[in-house]
Chains A and B, each alone.
Chain A
Amino acid sequence: MTATLTAPAAAPPSPAGPRRKRRTLSPTLLAFVLVPLLVETLWVFWPALQGVYLSFTSWDGVSAATLVGFGNYAELFSDPTFGKAFLDTVLWLVLFGGLSAVGGLAMAMLLLKDRRGVGFYRAALFTPVVFSLVATALIWQAIYQPNGLVNTVLGAIGLDSWQHSWLSDANTALYAVIVPALWRQIGYIMVLYLAGLKGIDPTLYEAATVDGASKWQQFTKITLPQLSSVNSVVLSVIIIDSLRSFDVVWALTRGGPYHSSELLSTYMYSTAFQSLRLGYASALAVVIFVLAFGVILTYLVRAFRDADA
């Protein structure tokens, strides 16, 4: 496959000498742009467009799809499970996104200075990112079991009344699932911020110290503004990851018990593959896409406007 990717697409070299004339795009450069674009079109844009088309149909994956116009979208408004999943997703975005950004930045600040053993801690925090989330979820499932680690510890310190079936209680299931998701995400965000912090010119801090700025002032007046470009990356990553969060929830609770930990992504999956309502599931997918795209777009527009000002 890769062998064919490098198919010679370049035209024979021009016999003309190095005359001064309008600069042309080099064929190699064009190939570099167009080939990935084409692969992307075939594998990403075209299926995505099909997904949008499917959201206007009723399709069970077996018979032919029938067009239903905006029927699926109208149904979303009267679907209590969708409402629940939507609110859960917003909650997830705020909690999972907010905590992983704050936690990641805190860890990065903590592990920025080269002390002895700091590499070990960085590696330890980054390790969960490497694990498959499904495997992670299995470990956490054991931890949350009625006789698992959490309840054993609670019993040991005399808090028996706090013992709980964490994953099967509608009031706690979603929060119980956020913890393993955070456990992984914080390491990831930390690495992004570490890279950003390393790029800040140390002379800025020296100047601030000379001017008598406190640590807090240095943080708010130098570190945060200098991190603005990393922040936009982190924000995009967090939003996309929040809306994509699926594997950890599915592995731990499948959106249950009775939809109490249902996110838009898990609801989309179960609608598509358990209820075989692929048209309705596509409508859910479009909603997820619009949410992610909308949030990121507004942020980018604002960022550019700030840059132009």
Chain B
Amino acid sequence: MTTTGFSRRGFLAGLGAVGAATALGGCVTSTGSQAAGGSASGPVTLQSNLSAPSAKAAMQALVDSFNKKGGTQASLNTVASETFRTQLPTYLTSANPPDVLTWYAGSVARSYAGKNLLLDVSEVWNGLAGYSDALKQLSTDSGKQIFIPASYYFWGMFYRKSNFAKWGVTAPTTWAEFLQVCETIKSKGVTPIGLGADNSTPWVASGWFDYLNVRINGANYHRELLAGKHSFADPQVHKVFDQWKTALPYFDPKGTALSFQDATTNLLQGRTGMMLIGTFLLDTTPKEDVDDIDFFRFPIVDPNMPLVEEAPTDGFYASAHTQRKPQTLEFLKYLTTVEAQEAYLKSSAGSSLPANSTAKDSGTPLITKGKEMLNKAADLTQFFNRDSSDALQPTADAALIKFIQHPEQIDSILTDWQSAAKKVWTS
């Protein structure tokens, strides 16, 4: 470049350009892509992470039926679940947030409530019929309600009735019977237990950990452990893995190489005998196979332990920064009604149970059986990440997948897990 002196005019022109660009920058940032918000008069925005086609359609049906009533209107904004999870803090802290968000009950909701990001929805709970005390407890943080449950589902050992009949086995109730069933299925040349915890869905393995832990150490110990009050290197936790080891020989050797969708396919096609999974497996099951699907309760390990089941609860909460508080509360109130929950279940695969006990579920024998199982349970847990935090889930994934592949390294796995978990608890 040639050396040139700055002329005054050139400099001023440059300044002008700078000014233009700054003004421009101002425009750009002010129209930055906000999460769906709006003015105080617009419709109530519902940010949903249910991006599966059937669930998305069901959500739309729900919003449409609310809009048909006239008065307050609502609009649905569906986001891919991975994006939703990473953006959630942004949604909640934004000055112009989505009013209502889909999420789940438990410690994650409570931690946001503790930071004053969630709207107090006690008003909606006032005189709410059809909701159990347990659900109210689950939705409460420091004396006020911050969550509106919409539906819940259950976990169990799912299998095909026709295959169990063919192999001559019946659903077991105790661990010893369970291993016996595995042995029989294995002798027929079939892999007894499918898993489906590959790199995309490693959390499936946490179901096994949760269940064995509540069966052996009870729900209170389980919750305290997940809250960081015990160490993962404790002998109690070790016992869980010793128990698990007795079933590992019956696990699908490809269990950590398949996603749970592929594992479900294997179960339906009779390549595996059973699988510990939530009722969402029905969402991807072909219609003609649904009637052949049944489940049994996770086997009893210690007969002195009260029976605890996993019942993850899904629902809604609202942002504390909402500019449409009355309309938002009205919409949430609608979401608790029998009409709304039945409309949702009708449009979805009907694999979950409505939170409002007076609403009708899909009424299939399987769902009815699951409902009874939960009603008889001494206590309900949510699921690993819902009882702890989404930050703790990756530590569990690493530890459990490693255990399934290398059970002999359990001691080092547990100490590593504890040091990784400690970072999450103290951060």
In Å, the complex CA distance between A256 and B391 comes to 16
Scoring A residues 46 to 77 as 1 if CB is less than 8 Å from chain B, else 0, what string do you get?
00000000000010111100000000000100
Decide: B13 and A256 in contact? CB cutoff 8 A.
no
> Contact check: which of B13, B22, B262, B420 meets A31 at CB < 8 Å?
B13
Scoring B residues 9 to 33 as 1 if CB is less than 8 Å from chain A, else 0, what string do you get?
1101110111011101101110000
Decide: A25 and B10 in contact? CB cutoff 8 A.
yes
- Chain A's interface size range is 35 or more
- Chain B's interface size range is 35 or more
Interface of B, helix, strand, loop or mixed by DSSP: helix
A280-301: which have CB < 8 Å to B?
280
In Å, the complex CA distance between A253 and B92 comes to 30
Closest-CB distance, A5 to chain B (whole angstroms): 7
Known: A9-B20, A167-B198, A277-B427. A257 touches B256 (CB 8 A): yes
Decide: B21 and A34 in contact? CB cutoff 8 A.
yes
> Contact check: which of A4, A25, A42, A81 meets B6 at CB < 8 Å?
A25
In Å, the complex CA distance between A22 and B7 comes to 9
In Å, the complex CA distance between A182 and B13 comes to 48
Known: A168-B198, A168-B199, A277-B391. A31 touches B28 (CB 8 A): no
In Å, the complex CA distance between A281 and B420 comes to 15
Decide: A27 and B20 in contact? CB cutoff 8 A.
no
In Å, the complex CA distance between A38 and B23 comes to 11
B292-312: which have CB < 8 Å to A?
none
Known: A27-B9, A31-B17, A38-B25. A256 touches B115 (CB 8 A): no
Q: Which residues of B contact A256 (CB under 8 A)?
A: 199, 202, 397-398, 401
Decide: B7 and A24 in contact? CB cutoff 8 A.
yes
Known: A30-B10, A63-B115. A165 touches B200 (CB 8 A): no
> Contact check: which of B25, B256, B257, B401 meets A42 at CB < 8 Å?
B25
In Å, the complex CA distance between A143 and B405 comes to 22
Q: Which residues of B contact A35 (CB under 8 A)?
A: 17, 20-21
In Å, the complex CA distance between A31 and B25 comes to 15
Closest-CB distance, A24 to chain B (whole angstroms): 4
8 smallest beta-carbon distances between A and B, as pairs: A27-B13, A165-B257, A24-B7, A9-B17, A61-B89, A168-B257, A7-B20, A273-B86
Contacts A62-B117, A165-B254 aside, 7 further interface pairs with beta carbons under 8 A come to A27-B9, A35-B21, A38-B22, A81-B420, A146-B254, A275-B394, A276-B89
Between A and B, 8 residue pairs with Cβ closer than 8 Å are A10-B13, A25-B7, A31-B13, A35-B20, A39-B21, A62-B93, A165-B257, A256-B398
